[in-house]
Amino acid sequence: MPFTSSKLTYKAYAYKNGNYPIELIDETIDLVKDPQGTYVAPPGKILLKINYAALNPVDYKLYHIKPSILRFYNCKQGFGRDFSGEVVSIGKNTSTSVNVGDFVQGIYTPILDKGSCAQYLLVDPKHCPVTTKPTNISLAQAAAWPLVLGTAMQLGKGLDYKDSKVLVLGAGTSVGRYVVQLAKLGGAREVVTTNSARNKDLISELGATEQIDYRQHPNFLNPVLENVKNSGKFNFIIDCFGGTHLFPEINHILVKNGAYHTIVGDSPGHGLDAMLGGVKTISRMAFSKYGLLNYNYELRFLDNNSGWINAARELIQEGKVKIFIDKIYPFDELKQAIERLESGKAEGKVVVEVARSE
């Protein structure tokens, strides 16, 4: 799509910090003139017209913790990481496999910057995973998987699920649903999960062999120990929700040299609790690194390098993993979408429709 002006103006959601509302504002992207005299994306960048954005807990966590001082760093903090949309321009010297006109999905990774709840987004494919949309899913579904499936893959990186016994904490979360599916695909012998009873059938369809209802057992240590008594210790614990319930008995739960991978650490909340939890999490990681634990403990994060996204795309294209959408909200109902996400009741991704594709 050739542009006739050096500035592309569009609507985007942004805020200064948690003391200010998230508002729809006018944003601009600076384009560069090409030899034909029209304007295109700057070198190394892909310009996208966004169709859907999906929300993640990191979006509201950042909104709540971004301290006032940071407003001087960026007065227009964007909202949203996951996106789907159309490639409308590609700058010179951009290393990418996508082409103008392709429908794509991906993750906008710069955290203190713009966001995907916007009509346009300029992405650097060196740091933002982006790939063409699988042909068997809608554009709304396309926005719903990148961050959570990518995180689930990162959690399982280096683990051989074949014939293993796996405990997935928070299997009902968007990430957890993929961890269960990947463990099953990898050939796990047993997949025990914590999740509420409302998704019992779904989680067992995805691959859980036994479930512990965390609402019935807020401290699920005893049911886990009971399970160990019946069928032995776990090779891997994958924590998608955060918490410390198992640590008092961890050596009776995990095999020696087993792995405990978490994406949250000790505290799922924010504020002082999260800070104290963070200190304990980092200390445990240090103990693990220096061989002072019987198991490997790691806090893992989504990998910004885009290598994994094509493997993830293949899993979707081949129908090997399912995508879950809780609800799609219109662009002007971002507030309601955030409330739904923050309620902790969403069953899958909360998606925002920026523009329906023609």
Ligand X SMILES: NC(=O)c1ccc[n+]([C@@H]2O[C@H](COP(=O)([O-])OP(=O)(O)OC[C@H]3O[C@@H](n4cnc5c(N)ncnc54)[C@H](OP(=O)(O)O)[C@@H]3O)[C@@H](O)[C@H]2O)c1
Residues engaged in binding ligand X (CB under 6 A): 56-58, 61, 147-148, 151, 170, 172-175, 194-196, 198-199, 214, 240-241, 263-264, 268, 301-302, 344, 346-347
Q: How near is the Cβ of 221 to ligand X at its closest, in Å? A: 13
> Looking at beta carbons only, is 8 or 169 nearer to ligand X?
169
What is the C-alpha radius of gyration for the chain, rounded to an integer number of angstroms? 21
3-state secondary structure of 108: coil
Is there a contact between 267 and 230 (Cβ–Cβ < 8 Å)?
no
3-state secondary structure of 244: coil
**Residue burial 262-285, b: 16+ Cβ < 10 Å; e: rest:** bbbbbbbebeeebeebeeebeebb
Q: From CA 247, how far away is CA 203, in angstroms rounded?
A: 25
> Looking at beta carbons only, is 17 or 174 nearer to ligand X?
174
> Looking at beta carbons only, is 76 or 300 nearer to ligand X?
300
Q: How near is the Cβ of 300 to ligand X at its closest, in Å? A: 6
Q: Which residue is nearest to ligand X (CB)?
A: 172
> Looking at beta carbons only, is 44 or 57 nearer to ligand X?
57
DSSP assignment string, 168-183:
EETTTSHHHHHHHHHH
Q: How near is the Cβ of 245 to ligand X at its closest, in Å? A: 10
Q: Are strands 32-33 and 39-40 parallel, antiparallel or unpaired?
A: antiparallel
> Looking at beta carbons only, is 130 or 147 nearer to ligand X?
147
Q: Are strands 23-30 and 7-15 parallel, antiparallel or unpaired?
A: antiparallel
> Looking at beta carbons only, is 91 or 172 nearer to ligand X?
172
Q: How near is the Cβ of 303 to ligand X at its closest, in Å? A: 9
Q: How near is the Cβ of 243 to ligand X at its closest, in Å? A: 7
Q: How near is the Cβ of 108 to ligand X at its closest, in Å? A: 14
